[in-house]
Chain A
Amino acid sequence: AQKVTQAQTEISVVEKEDVTLDCVYETRDTTYYLFWYKQPPSGELVFLIRRNSFDEQNEISGRYSWNFQKSTSSFNFTITASQVVDSAVYFCALSLYRRGGKLIFGQGTELSVKP
């Protein structure tokens, strides 16, 4: 069975702190994709990143970075120098190549960044 676990339900930090959101996935497939989405208070899901199972290279985009480790089945997301605008619910998701790309979401982590 496929599953995504985001163990942190809520995280609260003060602005300028670094914060890491954890994501652990389960699948026996060898070809799969991992995603992070942001859902701000406005409600619309915003795509952040997609990685495929054959590319473990870490990625950095501005203040955001992602660490993909197949050995631990983890795809963690770090925000450096957090800002109030980063406050949102963040979802990690898994899709399997053979299943048409439907997303299997984790339960989400609500991040609150206080000024």
Chain B
Amino acid sequence: GAGVSQSPSNKVTEKGKDVELRCDPISGHTALYWYRQSLGQGLEFLIYFQGNSAPDKSGLPSDRFSAERTGGSVSTLTIQRTQQEDSAVYLCASSVWGQGGEQYFGPGTRLTVT
């Protein structure tokens, strides 16, 4: 079956602009996670969705970051007023259930802020 998909695969934006990153999880997976991977910080958790609600937003680095999930499926991560330190690969993962189920990752969106 289809895996997790993310779009765009690459995004170059100017500092100060807003960006939206999209994640399509595996069908039937109720849990969805966003992470980011950068050279200096490794793999960091951003936010967790169970259905359409986000019980854990503790990893969002600032109020410029927000995310939503609709219909228990697609999720969008929005970064407002991008900064150069936001440059990273943003990864989405989904799981049949939260709380310890194996997570399957998408290919990521490489964000470059110039």
Q: Residues on A close to B: CB < 8 A?
A: 32-33, 35, 37, 43-47, 50, 52, 91, 93, 95, 97-105, 107-108
Chain B residue contacts of A33, Cβ below 8 A: 100
Those 9 A-B pairs whose CB atoms lie nearest each other, nearest first: A45-B105, A105-B43, A33-B100, A101-B98, A102-B45, A101-B99, A100-B98, A50-B102, A100-B48
Q: Residues on B close to A: CB < 8 A?
A: 31, 33, 35, 42-45, 48, 50, 55-56, 59, 89, 91, 93, 95, 97-108
Query: A101 contacts B103, CB within 8 Å?
Result: yes
* Cross-chain contact of B100 among A43, A46, A101 (Cβ < 8 A): A101
Chain A residue contacts of B50, Cβ below 8 A: 100
| Given A91-B43, A105-B42, A108-B42, residue A100 in contact with residue B105 (CB < 8 A) | no
Query: Complex formed: what's the CA distance from A32 to B106 in Å?
Result: 24
How far does the Cβ of A33 sit from chain B's closest Cβ, in whole Å?
Answer: 4
Query: Complex formed: what's the CA distance from A105 to B91 in Å?
Result: 13
Query: A43 contacts B55, CB within 8 Å?
Result: no
